[in-house]
Structures are given as structure tokens and as C-alpha cells.
Amino acid sequence: MATAEGESSVHNVSDELFQNFYTEVKQIEKRDSVLTSKQQIDRLLRPGASYFNLNPFEVLQIDPEATDDELKKRFRALSILVHPDKNQGDPDRAQKAFEAVDKAYKLLLDPEQKKRALDVIHAGKEYVEHMVKEKRKQLKKEGKPLDVEEDDPEMFKQAVYKQTMKLFAELEIKRKEREAKEMHERKRAREEEIEAAENAKRQREWQKNFEETRDGRVDSWRNFQAKGKSKEKKNRSFLKPPKVKMEQRE
């Protein structure tokens, strides 16, 4: 489950932003299915692109069911359009757009990553279908007509698009949280390792000093004992009672 901060980040990508992006992009696509270099760069770098570009199929503007050959052709055509060499008037933005295209293509070349992306898209569609059913149940319960806006194929497609983007965003936030947690754990483990090594070093140094000074301590103790015995002997000699002279009888 995403944290409150993560959930807030998802909601910051508002429904209005999703709708505006979707509407504008689809209008451009309808007018020009290829798009110019500038239009493609604008599409890939527009506000909210960090979330929109999480869907590799949307980045490449290709159907999720497209073949590998179609994917390769689409990548080649799109990468040429946004390549920095072709957009020398705006090389920095072109480079960022090219990187987004390249990242999406490489992701879809990985079977496991591609499957994950497809699972998200299917989950988004299933969610919208479920919500449509729930809406109809509620309308039926209220005795109202069962028509919903998602009956319009374009509105249904837009709803799936919005839900899919939200799912991609939530997964990305969870991934970053997991990555941050793992990094924190690695850092803590490293700190504990360094502390243990320092403790071991101090222990070795103490043991070394103890061994090096042991003979000296033993000699000092022996000398101390020897002096004590000598002093004790002298004291005994000093306290020796005098001899008693025998009295002579007359």
C-alpha cells in the first residue's frame, strides 16, 4: 500500500490534467497521425510527462497487441523524429524526449517488463468495466435509465487511459519507496559493518598492547614482591628482642 505522501503524489496528477492531456494528444493524433518532431517532443515533455511516460505503449504510440516487428519500426520512426541531431534548434529537450522513447522501447524488449506493462493496462480496463457495472446497478436501483457516459467508446477509452496512468503512477511510487527503503537498509548494514570492524580493530590493538606490556607488568610485580620481602626482613631484624644476661649468683 502506498504511503500518504505517495497517494498525494498520485492525486496531484489531477483528473483535469489527465483529461486535458488525453484530449489534446488525441486531437493532434487525429489531425496528424505521424506528428512533427516538435509535436512529439512537446507530447513527451508536457506537464505530467513523468507519469504519462510510465506507460511505454503510450510513449511509443503503439497498440499493446502490436508485434515485435511493428514495435521495432515504430521505435525507429519515432526516435528519428525526436533525435537531437534532427532538432538542433532545441537539442536539450530533444535529448530528453529521445531518452523517454529509448527507455520505453528497451522496456518492451524485455518480456517480463512488457508483461507487467500489459497487466497494468488490462487491470485499468477491468477496473473501468467494473465501475460501469456498479454505476448501472446504482441507476437501476434508483429507477433511472441505465445509460452511462462510458457507453461512448471514446469516453470508455479515455476512462481506461486515465485509470491506467494512475495505476502506473502508483506502481512507480511504490517502486521508489521500496528502493529508498532498500537503500536505507543497505546504508544501515554498512554502518553496522564499519562499526563492527572498528570495534574488532580496537580489540586487536588492546590485545596487542596487553601482550606487549605483560612481561613488564610481571617484572614490576616481582620487583615489588622482592622489595616487600626485603623490607619485611629488615623490619624483623630491627625488632629482634635483646639477649637477656643471666644474673650471677653470689
User: Side chain identity at 163, as an amino acid letter?
Assistant: Q
- Distance, in Å, from the CA atom of 207 to the CA atom of 238, rounded to the nearest integer, reads 46
CATH architecture, range 28-109: Orthogonal Bundle (1.10)
From the list 63, 64, 65, 43, the residue with the least C-alpha distance to 52 is: 43
Q: Could you read off the pLDDT tens digit of each residue along the chain, which spans 250 residues?
A: 445 444 444 444 455 555 555 555 555 445 445 578 999 999 999 988 888 899 999 999 999 999 999 999 999 999 999 999 999 999 999 999 999 999 999 999 999 999 999 999 999 999 999 999 999 999 999 999 999 999 999 899 889 988 998 999 998 899 889 989 998 999 989 999 898 888 888 888 888 887 777 766 666 666 766 666 665 555 555 555 566 555 555 5
Which pTM was predicted? 0.61
Show me where the domains of the chain are located.
Answer: 28-109, 111-215
Beta carbons of 132 and 87 less than 8 angstroms apart:
no
Beta carbons of 71 and 62 less than 8 angstroms apart:
yes
